[in-house]
Structure 1
Amino acid sequence: MMMRKKQRFGAALATVLVLLPMMTPVAQAKTISPVDQLIAPHEASYGFYVDNYKANTKQNTTPSTNPAYGLLNNFSKYWSPVKGQLDPAFLNQNTAIAAKITQNRTSAEVTRSLSYSLISGLGPYAKAFIKNANAQTDYTTVPTEPQPATTPYSKVKWADPNSKLGDMVKLVELTRGSYGSTGVPKNTFKYKRPYKLSKDVLPNPYLVNVMAASPKDGDFDFPSGHTTAGFETGEMLAYAFPERFQELVTRSSEMGYDRILAGRHSPLAVMGGRMFGTAVTASVLNDPANRDIMKKAYQEAHSNLLQSSPLVNAQDDYSNYQENQKNYRYRMTYGLPQDGDSNQAMRVPKGAEVLLETRLPYLSANQRRAVLATTGLPSGYHLLDDAEGWGRLDLFSAANGYGQLWDTTKVNMDATKGSFNAHDTWRNNIGGTGQLVKQGSGDLTLNGNNTFKGGIQVTNGQLDLNATNAAGQGNVAVKGGTLTTNTAAKLQKGYQQSKRGTLALTVTKATAMKIRGQAKLAGTLTITNAKSLKSHQVLLKFGSVKGKFAHVKGLPQGWHVKYHAHSLELVRG
């Protein structure tokens, strides 16, 4: 009897042991979606920059121990401080671009007060910032003659951390620790400045004495410290005041361009400065110790000290969106060749999503990572294909929303929170196979020539189609909230509107919304711009129609809509 019990127990135990390897993974495994896999961070030899940013010290002198050195170590593929040029053709091209820029300049600016000069990116708000942050500079005009060789950097502090906008100032200065220094990579690579490599690089005429007096050793090109500081300052100000996000990052890129213009740096040095400055900024913003100052800086920027200050005016050197976009994108590569592997998937560095936290506040952290992943620069450019992905981040494009929708993308905007939660515009041409679901009380505008195939669903708030193909290539369903258009929007498939939904059309000569498939109608049709009404004007064209709008609003007395097999028109009388 005892033997049978032992046999039964042994058989049961064997069954458990057989099942456990199959059952345990099911119980413990975490399902990772395809999108999560695409946005998962890639670890570099130094780890993740945001985790180890304070390891940029003089004591750490290898790519695996110093994150600044490791981040920029692709430079060692074509330059060695011992062997010299490893890729002469490419490095000569880098110098030639610098020479061309200096030869074609029409004016030059002495840019020594680094942080102060970024204030111009605030545009209409710059005057309020200067006053309420006690911002100062001792370089207010371009010199009329070459400066002495001993000309110092700015003697005054760019802004006062104890001023009314002190928290904004403190936020910028969080990047000023030793971890933001370019010293280690500069003194490791020891790459000469471009004007020392070629006589074709023409120094800024006001800096010729300063540059001629620079030491032969210890004064190097790569990476640009001024550009690093420019991106740190611009991106920090953009975090606090995201209403000027694209203008500020454009001004940051211009800081780097000015360094080439002056003959002080090469394109590669400036590109490295952008990478380094962005990594430092993201690291500081990810540090839990800084969350309080980040919150206070944002609140200050949106008070009557800046956003609603009576000092706000119309002056804006960065009001031309197309020009800003063109300049920023050019300055990412400066026309250097894309002759590496152009098929690498985009990588999003750990923590980089914080850079969009205030610009796209209605998206989750993973959604912001997806935005960065779908708007990044293609691979294959020298230097920029670093292990984590800092070099390929395109923050200007990322501020315009998604570049692709990979899956069902729910956008929940709470208008009561104000700013971009209340209204935002996506300017990118959005592709992909995913669906856009508009939720929440806020208003989202689509401005792009979109091709995403998963369709649109509106459940609340408002979605504006502000371009002919803004709706993409899928079905459109308005289950609640409002779909608006003031253009001849084209819907490539069907349209369905429930009784809780509203279609708002602004009547113009080219208003007619075209629906290639079936239009299933219910709910409300709202007509705006009623002064432009014309009898028998077509509002909707469709392949077929089922149902009718329950309510039509906005029409003057005596007007109504008339349904036909393939259209809906306005009729008077």
Structure 2
Amino acid sequence: MKTNQHSWFQKALVTVSIAVVTLPFAIQSAQAKTTDELAPHAAAYGYFVDHYRQNIADHTTVQNNPVVGEMSPFSTYWSSGQAHDPDILNQNIVQSAIITQHRTDAEATRSYLTDRRDLRYNLISGLGPYATTFIKNANAQTDFTTMPTTPLPANAPYSKVEWADPTSTLGPLVKLVNTTAHSPFSGTGVVKHVVKYIRPYRQSPQVKVLPVLSNVMAAAKSDDYDFPSGHTTAAFETGLTLAYAVPERFQELITRASEVGYDRVLAGRHSPLAVIGGRLVGTAMTAAVLNDPENQDLKQQAYQVAHTNALLDSKAATAVDDFSNYQTNRTAYRSRLTYGFKPSGDTHQAMRVPKGAEVLLASRLPYLSTNQRRDVLYTTGLPSGYPVLDDTEGWGRLDLFSAANGYGALNQQVTITMDAKRGGFNVQDTWRNNLTGHGQLIKKGTGTLTLAGNNQFTGGVRLKAGTLNLASPTAAGKGTIILNGGTLQVTKNYTHLGGQFRQSAGRLVVTPSSHLKIKHTAKLGGTLALTKGHLKNGTILMTFQAHTGKFKQVTGLPHGWHVHYTKHAVSLAK
């Protein structure tokens, strides 16, 4: 079926904003209410992580193939070559057309290289400054480095070289990627032939294929189907596997994985819904491989070798980082979660966290328990109702970029213990999400946690050990701050504490220009430490409704300076 009628295309073009090209949008996160809601929900096939090896040619039903089952929400719109929801399907092709029509020269080159290179090699750039070190120590290679000026012949081959060497210095990491992204169970060939959804460039001439690939795409077989995207699947399998071993590049790697999917749309190869489907399959398959008991030793070896001078500890990390801008990464990744589609289904479904999905955060949030990581996935998940995303287990609604930023809501007491001796993110980490909820955060251990969001949670914070850094004006939320030990560090000139402040021990560290505005009362004790900076007589450091006690010790003040206490403030005096 070739749907090239210009009437529906022009009508849909009016309703789909050109902003789809840049894909800006905001998603409200789901919020967990009870621990019971974190329990997994079995699909018709059971659980993906338990049955991923059933993704083989002989298994083609939602009951016996987890990939077919995971992709079953697409049957609402299309199945076995038949359209069921023309509006969603038309929007899918319109978005494909808009994106291809606004393809830049740089995007054309990138999408060509993405198309031709080994699917796993495509993710190396997500390692940023470590990419050249990886290429050297993994013996990684590609036979595609530039885009030709004329169309390739119809039978032009893909990459013929092995992407990386499993016997190299980084061999365990290469092997783990191969286990995830290049196994007999990791592909999308079976489900594509079940769904039989036609490629976008064959549905409308408004989808502008990449000229250099025009002969190749025209000669593709009639059963070369669109949904889900195999390149995107492999990108997330590779990206998330690398992110497990190199969690320091977690968000950058999954942003690159999402960019590979976008490249497929740019080239005219795939539609947005096919790319979304590929993300789901790649995410679930990676979780399955990382959970598989047979892979536990290899998983640990991959992490360990990545944290030697063969990669992260190398002094030769000098490659250009295309993913150095956090805000750009965040906007790009989150916009590609839905590609501008609006909710069209049930918007009142509770969030679900798939069985085993928490393993994807195990190295990124190592100081959290298994159940706490599930809670992070729950409280950062997407709302229901978006096309394709409402699979039974919940793979489609995971927002791993936001999950890497910590909790989205504290709906019960959360205690974290960061042991700096364990290294990695146990040493220091930053939660960037805007925290809501009524739960209390209790911080223990020797590591440093930074709160950087516009936080509204009301349960307050109790600091017992280590360092808690308040890096935004509302980082502390609206509850009571209790300082029993450790160091509470205020880095902004103006920081608002929405409840009480009670210090019995530990250190409160402020700058000479800090103003800590406490909404209610303060109980002072422990140490007040001032960092270096310009001192000005009369500068107010803290305000409150009233206070009891005084600091037991004040450090960082030159001779002749002291702090002055009044009913409503603490200030500098000389």
Normalising by structure 1, report the TM-score.
Answer: 0.92
Structure-2 separation of matches of 1:43 and 1:34: 20
Matched, 1:527 2:530: yes
SS of residue matched to 1:144: coil
Structure-1 separation of matches of 2:51 and 2:316: 41
Match of 2:561 among 559, 562, 569: 559
Q: Which gives a bigger RCO, structure 1 or 2 (Cα 8 Å, sep 6+)?
A: 2
Alignment of 1:123-142 (within 5 A): 123-142=128-147
Residue number in structure 2 paired with 1:199: 205
Q: Which amino acid aligns with 1:533?
A: L
Structure-2 separation of matches of 1:342 and 1:272: 19
Q: Which amino acid aligns with 2:74?
A: F
Residue number in structure 2 paired with 1:153: 158
Match of 2:352 among 336, 347, 352: 347
Residue number in structure 1 paired with 2:443: 438
Q: Note if contact 2:482-2:503 (Cα within 8 Å) is conserved in structure 1.
A: yes
Residue number in structure 2 paired with 1:541: 543
Structure-2 separation of matches of 1:315 and 1:189: 40
Residue number in structure 2 paired with 1:87: 85
SS of residue matched to 2:286: helix
Residue number in structure 2 paired with 1:469: 474
SS of residue matched to 2:548: strand
1:563 positional shift: 0.5
Q: Note if contact 1:447-1:467 (Cα within 8 Å) is conserved in structure 2.
A: yes
Aligned residues: 534
SS of residue matched to 2:517: strand
Structure-1 separation of matches of 2:151 and 2:519: 67
Match of 1:516 among 508, 515, 519: 519
Q: Note if contact 1:100-1:201 (Cα within 8 Å) is conserved in structure 2.
A: yes
* Percent identity of paired positions between Structure 1 and Structure 2: 57
Residue number in structure 2 paired with 1:21: none
1:485 positional shift: 0.6
Alignment of 1:230-379 (within 5 A): 230-313=235-318, 315-379=320-384
Alignment of 1:163-182 (within 5 A): 163-175=168-180, 176-182=182-188
Residue number in structure 2 paired with 1:105: 103
Structure-2 separation of matches of 1:34 and 1:312: 44
Structure-2 separation of matches of 1:418 and 1:571: 42
Residue number in structure 2 paired with 1:479: 484
Residue number in structure 1 paired with 2:167: 162
Structure-1 separation of matches of 2:318 and 2:512: 34
Pairwise CA RMSD: 1.0
Residue number in structure 2 paired with 1:18: none
Structure-1 separation of matches of 2:100 and 2:518: 54
SS of residue matched to 2:487: strand
SS of residue matched to 2:212: coil
Q: Note if contact 2:132-2:319 (Cα within 8 Å) is conserved in structure 1.
A: no
Structure-2 separation of matches of 1:394 and 1:99: 26
Residue number in structure 2 paired with 1:39: 38
Listed one character per residue, the Cα deviations across residues 50-92 of structure 1 (whole Å, up to 9, x for unaligned) are: 011101111111101110000000111111225x111011101
Residue number in structure 2 paired with 1:14: none
Residue number in structure 2 paired with 1:454: 459
Residue number in structure 2 paired with 1:184: 190
SS of residue matched to 2:336: helix
Q: Which amino acid aligns with 1:39?
A: L
1:206 positional shift: 0.9
1:34 positional shift: 6.3
Listed one character per residue, the Cα deviations across residues 184-211 of structure 1 (whole Å, up to 9, x for unaligned) are: 1100111110000000000011100100
Listed one character per residue, the Cα deviations across residues 404-429 of structure 1 (whole Å, up to 9, x for unaligned) are: 00101001100111120000000000
Q: Which amino acid aligns with 2:60?
A: T
Structure-2 separation of matches of 1:315 and 1:181: 31
Q: Note if contact 1:347-1:373 (Cα within 8 Å) is conserved in structure 2.
A: yes
1:148 positional shift: 1.3
Structure-2 separation of matches of 1:145 and 1:534: 69
Gaps of 5+ in 1: 1-32
Structure-2 separation of matches of 1:525 and 1:44: 55
Q: Note if contact 2:411-2:437 (Cα within 8 Å) is conserved in structure 1.
A: yes
Identify the range of structure 1 (239-248 vs 534-543) with the bigger mean alpha-carbon deviation: 534-543
SS of residue matched to 2:476: coil
1:314 positional shift: 5.9
Q: Which amino acid aligns with 1:279?
A: A
Q: Note if contact 1:455-1:474 (Cα within 8 Å) is conserved in structure 2.
A: yes
Listed one character per residue, the Cα deviations across residues 224-281 of structure 1 (whole Å, up to 9, x for unaligned) are: 0000000000000000000000000000000000000000000010000000000000
Q: Note if contact 2:131-2:319 (Cα within 8 Å) is conserved in structure 1.
A: no
Q: Which amino acid aligns with 2:83?
A: Q
1:35 positional shift: 2.8
Residue number in structure 2 paired with 1:428: 433
Q: Note if contact 2:527-2:551 (Cα within 8 Å) is conserved in structure 1.
A: yes
1:448 positional shift: 0.3
Match of 2:398 among 372, 384, 393: 393
Q: Note if contact 2:177-2:237 (Cα within 8 Å) is conserved in structure 1.
A: yes
Matched, 1:489 2:487: no
Residue number in structure 2 paired with 1:501: 506
Residue number in structure 1 paired with 2:8: none
Q: Which amino acid aligns with 1:549?
A: F
Structure-2 separation of matches of 1:374 and 1:185: 30
Structure-2 separation of matches of 1:327 and 1:106: 16
Listed one character per residue, the Cα deviations across residues 116-164 of structure 1 (whole Å, up to 9, x for unaligned) are: 1210000011010000000000011122221111111101001000000
Q: Which amino acid aligns with 2:253?
A: L
Match of 1:381 among 377, 386, 392: 386
Structure-2 separation of matches of 1:341 and 1:484: 44
Gaps of 5+ in 2: 1-31
Q: Note if contact 1:486-1:507 (Cα within 8 Å) is conserved in structure 2.
A: no
Residue number in structure 1 paired with 2:214: 208
Structure-1 separation of matches of 2:442 and 2:79: 52
Structure-2 separation of matches of 1:143 and 1:439: 57
SS of residue matched to 1:180: coil
Residue number in structure 2 paired with 1:63: 62
